[in-house]
Amino acid sequence: MFEHKHYIPILKWRAAEKGALQNLKSEDKTIITPLIEFTMPQPYDDDGKKTPKDLLQESISTFVQNIPNVARQVLKYWGRDAVFIDVQLIDGSIRAESLRKILNYGEQLDIFMTPVITIIPVVGFESDKQTRQVAIEFAKGTGHGLCFRITESNFDEKSLAKDIEDSVSKNGLNAENIDLMVDFKIIDKQTLYESLVKKLNMLPLIERWRTFIVAGGAFPKDLSHLEKHNQYNIPRTDWVIWRRLADGLKRPPSFSDYTIQYPIYAPRTSASNPSASIRYTLEDHWLVVRGEGLRNPKGAGFKQYPAQAQILVKQKEIFKGDGFSFGDSYIAEKAKDINTKKTGNPKTWLEAGINHHLTLVARQIASVP
């Protein structure tokens, strides 16, 4: 479907991520194919009287009610270009049927326009049998293919190579119509390049897969280890290792990451007190301007954001300029007046940060020799 100089960001299907995709420049979108992970909606329990069962049922009902809108949202925020979708993070009781309905609604909207491949389902060994079957039937029935997602835990099985080959042959699939993603999740200073190469070289049919993708993320779980009211550099270890893999494997893989977020998903809680912080991607590291909790008693709250933006924009050797991306334009606008009442919030600042990240990484990949 695409060569290795292509970018596959892994994104949750939430407001900030939707806005980040929608506001990409058309020239940057040409080398991006997002992988969208659906998550369960956050139920409301303001008075604390609902049981866990009630909360789960409310979350399930909300998700199911929104399924008819998913394909329209994909069209609105991303367009007709290819997109991967993964339902592994939603509740198991509705997983297979949700995937089936999302794919069916997509066809009814006529967003699968030949020769464009639009929605490509993602499954793996962790997927239940019913969900895998939905994806396989879709792949065979439409000819659009599917993405098979391998995780690091799968390498613990000595029979992994045979299991992969069996999954292809026994289901009547062709490797040439399958995108193989190897998702190592957390990539950090403990990650050994040699270990990754050894594992990747265990994979079968490496030159036959439609695309070969290596994913991982190096952004930390949270920023609590960083002292507030300061600026920090966090290495983009995932990018650095991918550059080495591109030269060290017999087939260079496409790059996939979790943008400016931690790879392991944890549902949000209404009781959280996130810090006002800007996450700004640079060529080999992230610049983090770290603030304090937005709900801290007698704290500066949301007013921290414009002040942080001004700190970033004044660093001419770092800030890319307001024309670089939608995200950079947003940062520059907020930096003009530290007393503005339109400070932005965690959603808008995450949207800006992800949009900037997507833009920078897309251009990095385009310039790789």
List residues bridging with 279 in a β-sheet. 288
8 A C-beta contact, residue 84 and residue 47: no
Q: What is the mean pLDDT of the chain?
A: 93
Q: Residue 331 and residue 349: Cα distance in Å, rounded?
A: 8
Question: pLDDT of 91-141, one tens digit each?
Answer: 999 999 999 999 987 766 654 444 344 789 999 999 999 999 999 999 998
Report residue 89 as tokens: 């993070």
> 273 or 254: which carries more pLDDT confidence?
254
**pLDDT over threshold 60, residue 171:** yes
Q: Give the neighbor-by-neighbor strand order of the sheet with 230-235.
A: 230-235, 285-290, 278-281
Cα 74 to Cα 18, 105, 257: the distances in Å are: 9, 11, 20
**% of the chain residues with pLDDT over 70:** 96
What is the pLDDT at residue 136?
96
What is the pLDDT at residue 71?
86
pTM: 0.95
Q: Residue 299 and residue 307: Cα distance in Å, rounded?
A: 14
Q: What is the mean pLDDT of residues 183-200?
A: 95
Residue 199 CA from chain centroid, whole number: 23
DSSP at 154:
G
**pLDDT over threshold 50, residue 227:** yes
Q: What is the mean pLDDT of residues 199-225?
A: 96
Q: Measured at the alpha carbon of residue 252, what is the angle toward residues 161 and 239, in degrees to the nearest 5?
A: 105
Which domains are present in the chain? 7-270 (3.20.20), 273-361 (no CATH)
What is the pLDDT at residue 270?
60
What is the pLDDT at residue 213?
98
Question: pLDDT of 62-77, one tens digit each?
Answer: 999 999 999 889 989 9
What is the pLDDT at residue 1?
75
What is the pLDDT at residue 116?
45
Q: How confident is the model at residue 154 (pLDDT cuts 50, 70, 90)?
A: very high
Q: How confident is the model at residue 49 (pLDDT cuts 50, 70, 90)?
A: confident
DSSP at 124:
-
Q: How confident is the model at residue 290 (pLDDT cuts 50, 70, 90)?
A: very high
What is the pLDDT at residue 246?
82
Show the beta-strand stretches assigned E in the chain. 7-12, 35-37, 83-86, 119-123, 146-151, 178-186, 211-217, 230-235, 254-257, 278-281, 285-290
**% of the chain residues with pLDDT over 90:** 83
What is the pLDDT at residue 220?
96
Other beta carbons within 10 Å of 76: 12
Question: pLDDT of 269-284, one tens digit each?
Answer: 665 788 999 999 999 9
> What 3-state DSSP class applies to 100?
helix
Q: What is the mean pLDDT of residues 9-16?
A: 97
**pLDDT over threshold 90, residue 320:** yes
**pLDDT over threshold 80, residue 318:** yes
Q: Residue 200 and residue 220: Cα distance in Å, rounded?
A: 24
